[in-house]
Amino acid sequence: MKIGLALGGGASHGLAHIGVLQVLEEAKIPIHLICGTSIGAVIGGLYALNPDARLLEKIAREIITSEEFKTIGFDLFENPRVPKPFRNLADFIKEHYIYIKEFINPYIVKGEKLYSIFNRLFGTALISQTKIQFASVAVDLKTGEDRIIRDGPIIDAVRSSSAIPGVFPYITDFGSILVDGGITSTVPTKAVRELGANFIIASSLMRKLNEPASLRTGFQINLRVDEIVKYRLNKLNLLDVDLIISPEVHKVHWSDFSKLAFCIKKGRDAALKSLPELKRQLSLFGRLKRWFKHSV
For residue 93, the model assigns a pLDDT of 42
Decide: helix, strand or coil at residue 259.
coil
For residue 257, the model assigns a pLDDT of 92
pLDDT reading at 169 higher than 90: no
For residue 90, the model assigns a pLDDT of 42
| Count of residues in the chain | 296
Burial readout 130-155 (b: 16 or more C-beta within 10 A, e: otherwise): bebbbbbbbbbeeeeebbbbbeebbb
207 falls in which pLDDT band (50, 70, 90)?
confident
In the chain the beta strands, taken as DSSP E runs, fall at: 3-7, 33-36, 133-140, 146-149, 171-173, 176-180, 199-203, 243-245
For residue 270, the model assigns a pLDDT of 97
Structural contact between residues 23 and 275, judged by C-beta atoms closer than 8 angstroms: yes
Read off the pLDDT of residues 275-294 as tens digits, 9 standing for 90 and up. 999 999 998 877 666 655 65
For residue 292, the model assigns a pLDDT of 56
pLDDT reading at 210 higher than 70: yes
For residue 147, the model assigns a pLDDT of 94
For residue 102, the model assigns a pLDDT of 52
27 falls in which pLDDT band (50, 70, 90)?
very high
Task: Tell me the pTM.
Answer: 0.86
For residue 213, the model assigns a pLDDT of 73
pLDDT reading at 100 higher than 70: no
Highest mean pLDDT among 243-247, 253-257, 283-287: 243-247
94 falls in which pLDDT band (50, 70, 90)?
very low
pLDDT reading at 111 higher than 80: no
Residues 109-137: what's their mean pLDDT?
A: 92
Query: Which candidate, 152, 186, 159, 183, places its Cα nearest to that of 37?
Result: 186
